[in-house]
Structure 1
């Protein structure tokens, strides 16, 4: 079931350390490599999961916050990849 989280529709998300990790339901045209969006405290980021976990875009997060985000994504990589595959039918 799709839920509307604020102004962005997302199919899947989790929260950690006051941040929301999610992907958009309408992404994938054309398909991009697996990634997750992060939002919180007025900041946004897009994190690639392949080939390596890395920052695609970041607006407002400082380097310490980004380091923590990358750590959280690494710890939850399997969960994020599995959810993305299920949602997008990969």
Structure 2
């Protein structure tokens, strides 16, 4: 599970066994976790994050969208 980015205590990473799904990133902070689609920064699933945290996560994904997509393509070879 390579870590792609760390911002304000949030860890952004990929699972290595999900190459057949659309590009997305997993985000953890403490015990909370979320999965966000990279094409539009929508939350696919979330456990433990507040609505405020999810908004912050979506803004971070949008602001780093290009580098996250590049990392996805480099990692999964697409």
Structure 2 length as normaliser, TM-score?
0.94
Provide the secondary structure at the position in 1 that maps to 2:35.
strand
Q: 2:12 aligns with which of 21, 37, 54?
A: 21
Higher helix content, 1 or 2 = 2
> Is 1:64 aligned to residue 55 of structure 2?
no
Root mean square deviation of aligned Cα: 0.9
Q: Which has the higher contact order (CA 8 A, sep 6+)?
A: 2
Q: What is aligned with 2:70?
A: 82
Aligned residues: 78
**Rg larger in structure:** 1
Q: Give deviations 1:11-65, integer Å, cap 9, x for gaps.
A: 342110101001012222xx11110000012100000012x22000000000000
Report the TM-score when normalising by structure 1. Answer: 0.82
Structure 1 counterpart SS, 2:2: strand
Q: Which runs of 4+ in 1 moved over 2 A?
A: none
* DSSP-derived class of the 1:32 partner: coil
Instruction: Provide structure 2 residue ranges, at least 5 long, that are not aligned to the other structure.
Output: none
**Larger strand share, 1 or 2:** 1
Gaps of 5+ in 1: 1-9
